[in-house]
Amino acid sequence: MIGLGAIAGIALVELGMVLTPGPNMIYLVSRSISQGRRAGLISLAGVALGFLAYLFAVSAGIATVFALVPEIYLAIKLAGAGYLLWLAWKAVRPGGRSAVATQDLEQDRPRKLFLMGFLTCLLNPKVAILYISLLPQFVDPERGHVGLQGLLLGLTQIAVGVAGNAFFIVTAGSVAGFFARHPLWQRLHRYAMGTALAGFAVKIATERPGAAVALR
């Protein structure tokens, strides 16, 4: 039904996105450092639900809407690329901050932690672009039902994303302490993160047209 190459491909794409911090990781790491690992993991559960919401929306045919009105898809694609470029600039500009140079957050109850994680994921352009644009490129119509392929690929992405973010939540305090003690490594991390984010932005902005219709 689905090739191992496609599964490995989407897993590597998601791993790359996890390692290039965006709104999800910044929020989760900040929450973990400010309120503890438990708060970070509760927030991560909300992020996972956001992943599922995108996956079910794609499975329900939202990609077809973008195929019928390509201007909407183009606007979202360019907006997402622009947002990633803005994050890249924030990382590499003079006085920029690493994703682990977090700000203090108020102590929130579990329900709010879960909801904020969910909303952070829904409003994350990296996630929207992944499901609407990148994930369909790993679907092969010759291998059978494209909807089922998309579902399996999406679940693979969620598994990698949740595991990767959980790792950063658990190690957030140690990593933040290391970078605080070693400014040079924090600077190198900022430049590496900014370069990777810019690379994703260029890929999103220049991808081949029509990818969004692959799951219809």
Residues of the chain with confidence (pLDDT) below 50: 209-216
Tell me the pTM: 0.68
pLDDT at 176: 62
pLDDT at 171: 85
Distance CA 60, CA 13 (A): 23
**What one-character DSSP code corresponds to residue 141?**
G
In sequence order, what are the residues at sequence separation of 6 or more whose Cβ sits closer than 8 angstroms to the Cβ of residue 46? 113, 114, 115, 116, 117, 118, 119, 120, 121
- Tokens standing for residue 101: 């140079």
Distance CA 18, CA 24 (A): 9
Distance CA 64, CA 183 (A): 48
In sequence order, what are the residues at sequence separation of 6 or more whose Cβ sits closer than 8 angstroms to the Cβ of residue 211? 133, 134, 136, 137
pLDDT at 4: 80
Distance CA 87, CA 76 (A): 16
Q: How far is CA 10 from the centre of its chain?
A: 12
CB 140 within 8 A of CB 63: no
Determine the angle formed by the axes of helices 4-19 and 146-181, rounding to 10 degrees: 30
- Main-chain phi, psi angles of 97, to 5 degrees: -120, 145
pLDDT at 173: 67
Residue identified by tokens 């590496």 is 192
pLDDT at 115: 94
* Residue 107: C-alpha distances to residues 30, 40, 170, 172 (Å): 11, 12, 18, 17
Distance CA 149, CA 177 (A): 42
- Tokens standing for residue 151: 């579902």
pLDDT at 211: 43
In sequence order, what are the residues at sequence separation of 6 or more whose Cβ sits closer than 8 angstroms to the Cβ of residue 65? 72
